[in-house]
Structure 1
């Protein structure tokens, strides 16, 4: 094998010798065969990042019914295609294998979790809300009608979107709760 043939097999030597002015010598066939996950998506859905109150636009790429990639939406007037590190990692909210997808309950003073069906869990929550509201209801305070309860509070999370937080505020206000807060304001 001659010196030129030998030098032609090594990308670094081709670049140093000036035979590859565009510096494509370091590209491999595997690199050239790679395609972005977004190119093979069946559909793209527009969404809003669930983490904070900014409301950055997201493009959610779906293939075979599964989320394959989430990127910033360049058409969003708020974020113009940019996402913070949390927003960029929001794919893990729906695709992480360790994500809990069933109701887990730990009894008072219990040491382990048990699975409950959703209907039973909702009934337990409703019973506790009604009982707490009945026990802690204040009709009057210092001669004024207040019609409230201090026994129920709400702390909304930053992974809830604006609509969910709005509905929670309406629900807890209708129940008479006073302490209604959101993680984004704390």
Structure 2
């Protein structure tokens, strides 16, 4: 370890340089000068939208070696104008977390263990259950004989992390399937 010299004190550098008020280079340490931002080493920058709420703040995602290294607010976004809330600022941790689930897990009724499923198997299971519930609880007419053409076996709860277009499509899908219990987290 190098010996400390009083000549490296900021106050000495301040009075021995033109920076008399200590507002410039005289108060910057060598360690601070050597620091470089994570964004400077990025291979590319990708524009994205924050996944946390329905506001839709713009993000700049800095990628190096196909890995996200930093996420910042996008100053070109008309919604957030470069600002992010604390959750949006920490969304890099959402992407790079060691505990992030990347496989589809399924626990059968009364089973004690989870099993891994392929995406096609999981989608097929969901579709089969959706159609079965629709068919089982379908009502053509109510108790007064009026046509209702609905199912009481399917309900939908949309999330606020989806944007308006996604929620619109989900609403149309469930309405077309005959569901009438359709709600959204943003309204509750």
Range class of TM-score, shorter chain = 0.7 to 0.9
User: TM (normalized to structure 1)?
Assistant: 0.84
Name the counterpart of 2:45: 44
Name the counterpart of 1:152: 154
CA distance 1:116–1:44, change in 2 (3 Å): same
Name the counterpart of 2:76: 75
| CA distance in 2 between partners of 1:26 and 1:114 (Å) | 59
Residue 130 of structure 1 deviates from its aligned partner by 1.1
SS in 1 for 2:186: helix
Q: How many residues align?
A: 180
> Aligned Cα RMSD in Å?
2.3
Mark the runs of 5 or more structure 1 residues left unpaired by the alignment. Answer: none
CA distance 1:174–1:152, change in 2 (3 Å): same
Mark the runs of 5 or more structure 2 residues left unpaired by the alignment. Answer: none
| CA distance in 2 between partners of 1:147 and 1:155 (Å) | 21
CA distance 1:70–1:136, change in 2 (3 Å): same
Residue 27 of structure 1 deviates from its aligned partner by 3.4
* Residue 161 (structure 1) aligned with residue 163 (structure 2): yes
SS in 1 for 2:39: coil
| CA distance in 2 between partners of 1:92 and 1:184 (Å) | 24
Q: Are the aligned partners of 2:54 and 2:162 in contact in 1 as well (CA < 8 Å)?
A: no
SS in 2 for 1:50: coil
User: TM (normalized to structure 2)?
Assistant: 0.83
SS in 1 for 2:79: coil
